Amino acid sequence: MRTALGPPPRSLTLTALVALAALTLGCFPEPVEGSGGEDSDESESSSSSGDATTTTTSAGPTSSGPVTTDTTSGETTTTADPTLTTDPMTTETTEPGPLCGDMTVDPGEECDLGPANSDEGLCTSMCQNAYCGDGLVGPGESCDDGNMTQGDGCHECKLESCGDGVIQEPEQCDDGDADNTDACLDTCAPASCGDGFVQDGVEDCDDQNVDNTDACTTLCQAPACDDGLLSGVETDVDCGGDCGGCALDKACVDPDDCLSNTCYMGECEPPPVDYTSCKDYFEEDDLLPSGEYDIDPDGLGGIHPFKVYCDMKAEGGGWTLVLKVDGTATTFRYGQEIWTNTDTLNPQNHDLDHNQTKLASYHTVPFDEIMIGLEEPIANMDPIVPQLLVLPIAGDSLHALIAPGDHIPTSFGPATWLSLINGSALQPNCNLEGLNARGTDDNQFHRARIGIIGNENNDCLTPDSRLGIGTAGSSGFNDQGPSAGNAAAFNPMPQDTTLKPAYGVVFVR
């Protein structure tokens, strides 16, 4: 037998190595029949009857991997897997390169669990250790957005939610606990009165309702007499019930709820006054002096009792003051709203002094007579000392007669009216007198709420003179003239004028 060795093979399979060793030691087993085991030089070929079979054995490098047999008609070729080779000279074995998933932690890998590698596991599919912030939702994580930014829905690999201690929209607070007695509720809303939880050190109670008559008010405090609320058993804000008495017009249940000790139809009223006018006082005692008195024209309820000046001496006594008019002022000119409304003016000035006044008696005191007075010239000292005239006019109130604007006549004649002011003058014609005396609606012509008007013509269309209270008219003058007193022009010539402001007073009885 001749064995020829060619150049050292690059790699040999394990089978080839065994064969080589056996060849070297001369201990090849007997060939198996039909195996082609006859001695040969570098290659050996055998034939048998029938289909020709050719077997080729290469003495070069051999492979130890799996063998693939290819059989065609008359020929079988065996090829070894070249992935693992052995050099016959060095017997060096070359393994496959590093591979993630081979269960070996190779360079560049942090882990390798083989089939257990997973982007949801401890070792990722890239053989890296899972960590919060890698963008992969790993074990123990509910989210992983690849950043540590708060307020974007995922923080520290946990979904942001109320109670995590991080404030994000729409939370207003988040203290990370479930304590509802501190400043932040477990709903991540600030504690507030009315939320049903008693905040330590801030609230005394919290019954979660708006009823201030129970044991807990909307301030989350117990009812108190100085809490600015109608609370507890109070009848009005901070008064009545267990608190102090209420002022006038405040709500009440019993007289004790009122400072006045008078509760009428659920409101605190002044103590009853049995006098409706100065006449009531006078009829009870005609020796009473003139001065200030309390009257209550409509009794309990309605307008409260108020003070007026009562003249108990003039023209039989028992007169109730209604108005005081400064003729140099414009307050009571004919067209002013003060004549048509029920507002009062300086009701505190109810004495017979030189302070303009419109008392509630103007629209509340009924009467059978009106008494007017004019002081001219206007004095600098009180009380007013007027010339008086009694008008036989009756009404439910002076306001009820004057406000509609209808003329209500008297029939004294010019001389009686002129006697109220020394040196006064009136044109000779028209002589319309009483309440709401006026000619046309043209504001330049003269008119009087209480008084008389005159004209040079034999009509009342264009009157140029007046005398009384609540007067106006500019014809013959540069302005509307005095609101009380006397003004006359064209008497009979344009330059013949009279202008006398006076202080007027009006009483009723």
Task: Report pLDDT digits (tens) over 175-219.
Answer: 999 999 999 999 999 999 999 999 999 999 999 999 999 999 999
Least confident segment among 164-173, 399-408, 450-459: 164-173
Whether residues 445 and 337 fall in one domain: yes
Least confident segment among 50-64, 80-94, 218-232, 481-495: 50-64
Residue 258 lies in a domain: yes
Q: What is the pLDDT of residue 246?
A: 97
Which residue bears the tokens 């109070």? 234
pLDDT tens figures, 330-343: 999 999 999 999 99
pLDDT beyond 70 at 367 = yes
Whether residues 267 and 412 fall in one domain: no
pLDDT tens figures, 371-391: 999 999 999 999 999 999 999
H/E element, 293: strand 291-295
Whether residues 371 and 447 fall in one domain: yes
Banded model confidence at residue 482, pLDDT cuts 50, 70, 90: very high
Whether residues 386 and 502 fall in one domain: yes
Give me the phi and psi of 115, to 5 degrees please: -60, -20
Residue 442 lies in a domain: yes
Residue 176 lies in a domain: no
Whether residues 323 and 267 fall in one domain: no
pLDDT beyond 90 at 65 = no
Residue 31 lies in a domain: yes
Distance in angstroms (rounded) separating the CA atoms of residues 236 and 67? 109
Residue 338 lies in a domain: yes
Q: Tell me the percentage of the chain whose pLDDT exceeds 70.
A: 80
Which residue bears the tokens 């005692």? 285
Whether residues 390 and 500 fall in one domain: yes
Whether residues 92 and 3 fall in one domain: yes
Mean pLDDT for the stretch of residues 122-126: 93
Which residue bears the tokens 């979904």? 159
pLDDT tens figures, 24-47: 444 444 443 443 443 434 333 333
Distance in angstroms (rounded) separating the CA atoms of residues 446 and 442? 9
Q: In this structure, what is the dihedral angle of CA atoms 165, 169, 173, 174, given to the nearest 10 degrees?
A: -20
Bigger pLDDT: 168 vs 432: 432
Residue 162 lies in a domain: no
pLDDT tens figures, 125-163: 999 999 999 999 999 988 989 898 877 888 889 888 898
Whether residues 92 and 239 fall in one domain: no
pLDDT beyond 70 at 258 = yes
Burial class (CB in 10 A: 0-12, 13-18, 19+), 345: middle
Residue 181 lies in a domain: no
Residue type at 151 in one-letter notation: G
CA 39 distance to own-chain centroid: 112
pLDDT beyond 70 at 504 = yes
Residue 177 lies in a domain: no
Is residue 74 a contact partner of residue 52, using CB atoms and an 8 Å limit?
yes
Whether residues 355 and 254 fall in one domain: no
Question: Would you tell me how many other CB atoms lie within 10 Å of the CB of residue 188?
Answer: 19
Whether residues 402 and 470 fall in one domain: yes
Question: Would you tell me how many other CB atoms lie within 10 Å of the CB of residue 218?
Answer: 16
Whether residues 460 and 357 fall in one domain: yes
- Residue 428 structural domain: 319-508
How many structural domains comprise the chain? 3
pTM for the model stands at 0.61
Task: Single out the residue in 271, 292, 327 at which a domain terminates.
Answer: 271
Q: What is the pLDDT of residue 168?
A: 85
Whether residues 253 and 375 fall in one domain: no
Distance in angstroms (rounded) separating the CA atoms of residues 508 and 277? 9
